[in-house]
Amino acid sequence: MQLKIGAYIRVSTEEQASAIEGSLENQKYRLKAYVDLKNSQVRNWGEIVEFYVDDGYSAKDTRRPAYQRMMRDIKRGKTELILVSDLSRLSRNIFDFCNLMDELEKNEAQFLSIKEQFDSTTPAGKMMIYNMINLAQFEREQVSERVALGAHARAMRGLHNGARPLLGLDKHPDKPGSYVINEIEADDVRKIFRIFLNTGSRAKTIQELEKEGIKPKLSGKYGKLKIHDKWSSNTLGNLLGSAVYIGCHEVNKSNRAKDQKRLKAHQQYKLVKASWPAIVEEEEFYAAQDLLDEAKKLERVRLDGAEERFYVLSGILRCSECGTPLVGQAAHGNTHVHRYYGHTRAHSHTSCQYHRVPAADVEEAVLQYLWSATQDAGYLEKIERNIREMQNVKSISAARDKRAIKDQLKNVQLRIDNLLLMQGQASSAEVIKHAVKTFEALSKEKSELEDKIARLDSGADQEELIKESVQVIQDNLREFERGFRKAKGSMKKRLLHRLLKQVVLSPNGLHIFMQLADGMEIPNLHIKLIRFENKKDANNPQFAITRKASGDDSNLQVLGSVIRKDGDPTGT
């Protein structure tokens, strides 16, 4: 009987090949050639039914999309043999590899490495395989430690390890890892510290900076991210708390709050003399730190005593019209504090229909819906039915999408063939170098297109996604039901965040997007909306019902349900 083979291919970012054939293409060629050789020796030995390609992923864990898809196919019986060019492609973690072997045994499947050629069905073969994985894990950890030690050595010499320059500093043109002072920006930095010391408030400092026309520096790589022309409390706090301005470098800054005795020498927090000069006087800098610490303590006391003002939807609620998050806000009235979700100061200029909404109204609508869902015995069946209906609608265009992708694939393959022909005739080093880069990009595009076709072909894979997603929603709903009422604000927020991926406020209603399983994606599903009517005026609905979500939310995992005024989820 012919073996159904799943060929697994992986290359990490660091391992991207510079050869013209490319590492991914080279692995694919070797796997195909090996199967052809075995078929010539043993008639109908096996057939590769699927290529699983993880481009730019490390083998340190199993959080790889193609790997996860391969394991689902093993469970479904689509494949019964995993074929790899060598063991390190599959795993470099002994714990993950043991789990893989257990899954293969449960599903009566096996794996084969072309390089090692060990028989995993014998005790001696298993011992050799585990030894090889142990060595691969040892090598990975050794490389990781060497990199960490090298970075630590540079940091202890006062050099940065690729950090972006802050306001007032530029990268040194001749000394990698060092900065030079940008005199124009440095004057702004000194002015920022003076304003903050005078006002004692980040909010008031931001107001003064806006009047002065002082803006933050780029928030990302040059040419890729836009300039942030608005200060926030976080960006200002990061600037005021950065020791680079007194000519110092913080080594292992992320470990500053940890117990230093429990850390290795190269992991401990240190403040060392930097390779660049200071911009701000130490006296001013440490005075600013005292003010920041004092404000932090006061904020902690305020939050500890303001549990009723906790915003459980903060971080997942956003506006559908401008796409920005809606954050928790408070306004002090004559008798009590009013809570809202609204746009931040940076986006206060937007012309969205709802600039801010009462927090209690939105939270009540979402919670009422979730409590109704926990009491509805048929809720999960309705969810599954809704998703299946949506999948059927989507599948109508699957054939058309597949044809379009195949046409793209033919075009990419033609470009690869022409490039190989041109490279064989080229003599210039520059031309060859350009051909290598172009080939790598085309190879990656080809792999992505092949992966799309494989996903369209795999109807059973969608079935597995639906079942796993419904199970995740069921588990999260149970956690919510058991713990939400007794939990404090921070735990309530965590429980909601485990259950909900996004809550989107639009003129048409609230859009609910549920969390699905890790690595799961059910694309392009339309969502039905929650209806919530204003208590003060029942004849004037605050949100209306519509059948489809507005805007492009196709990249989000979604679940559709409708809630009436009485809280009954119809599932229609």
The pLDDT of residue 61 is 81
Q: How many residues does the chain have?
A: 572
Beta bridge pairs of residue 356: 342
Torsions phi, psi for 357 (to 5 deg): -135, 150
Q: In this prediction, what percent of the chain has a pLDDT beyond 70? A: 74
pTM of the full structure: 0.44
Is 169-305 the same fold as 3-151? no
Does the pLDDT value for residue 31 go beyond 50? Answer: yes
Residue 274 · residue 242 · CB < 8 Å: no
- The fold for domain 169-305 equals Hect, E3 ligase catalytic domain fold (3.90.1750)
Does the pLDDT value for residue 515 go beyond 80? Answer: no
Mind giving me the DSSP string for 138-159?
Answer: HHHHHHHHHHHHHHHHHHHTT-
Q: Please choose, from the candidates 302, 333, 327, 324, the residue with its C-alpha nearest in 3D space to the C-alpha of residue 313.
A: 327
Tokens representing residue 133 in the block: 């994985």
184-208: average pLDDT? 90
Q: Please write the tens of the pLDDT for every residue from 482-501.
A: 888 888 877 888 888 888 88
Residue bearing tokens 């890729």: 224
**Domain locations in the chain as residue ranges:** 3-151, 169-305, 307-394+454-572, 395-453
Mind giving me the DSSP string for 535-558?
Answer: SS-TTS-SS---SS--S--TTS--
d(CA 462, CA 70): 14
The pLDDT of residue 398 is 56
Return the HEC string of 484-536: CCCCCHHHHHHHHHHHEEEEEEECCEEEEEECCCCCCCCCCCCCCCECCCCCC
Q: Please write the tens of the pLDDT for every residue from 337-373.
A: 788 888 876 666 667 877 788 888 888 888 888 888 8
Q: Please write the tens of the pLDDT for every residue from 138-188.
A: 877 787 788 888 888 888 888 888 777 888 888 888 888 888 898 889 999
411-423: average pLDDT? 75
Residue 344 · residue 364 · CB < 8 Å: no
Return the HEC string of 93-113: CHHHHHHHHHHHHHCCCEEEE
- The neighbour count for residue 501, using CB atoms within 10 Å, is 16
Task: Find the helix packing angle between 489-499 and 459-483, rounded to 10°.
Answer: 160
Residue 405 · residue 453 · CB < 8 Å: yes
CATH number for the domain formed by residue range(s) 3-151: 3.40.50.1390
Confidence category of residue 193, pLDDT binned at 50, 70, 90: very high
Residue 312 · residue 366 · CB < 8 Å: no
235-259: average pLDDT? 86
The pLDDT of residue 568 is 33
305-332: average pLDDT? 78
Range of lowest pLDDT (105-109, 145-149, 448-452): 448-452
Range of lowest pLDDT (400-404, 464-468, 521-525): 521-525
